[in-house]
Amino acid sequence: DARVTQTPRDKVTEMGQEVTMRCQPILGHNTVFWYRQTMMQGLELLAYFRNRAPLDDSGMPKDRFSAEMPDATLATLKIQPSEPRDSAVYFCASGLSGGNPEQFFGPGTRLTVL
């Protein structure tokens, strides 16, 4: 069945290292979202794309975070350099703009920065 996939599921790294998270949206969905979830801040929208073009990345720390969609089947979120405060669960979600308003979430990447 169709679902959003994310890799890796868990990542432990040391401060200063580069982290890359990947997402494969549901085939045919034209909108992809990146969220970060922590106990303190809840679910925060970092960035989202429509038809592979970035629409809004105002929620993302620009100095260290970057998000791209190299093609329609792959979205990436990169943190360089990583910091302990980046520890969180990062969710990717996809949806179809103009159709069903539901966002389908992937299983998330649990990031721990030591």
Interaction residues for another protein, span 6-65 (CB under 8 A): 31, 33, 35, 41-45, 48, 50, 55-56
Give long-range contacts, CB 8 A cutoff, 24+ apart: 96-105.
96/28, 96/29, 96/30, 96/31, 97/30, 97/31, 97/50, 103/33, 104/2, 104/3, 104/4, 104/26, 104/29, 105/4
Of positions 67, 69, 103, 111, contacts another protein by CB under 8 A? 103
Nearer of residues 16 and 67 to another protein, judged by Cβ:
67
Query: In the complex, which residues of this chain contact another protein (CB under 8 A)?
Result: 31, 33, 35, 41-45, 48, 50, 55-56, 91, 95, 97, 101-103, 105-108
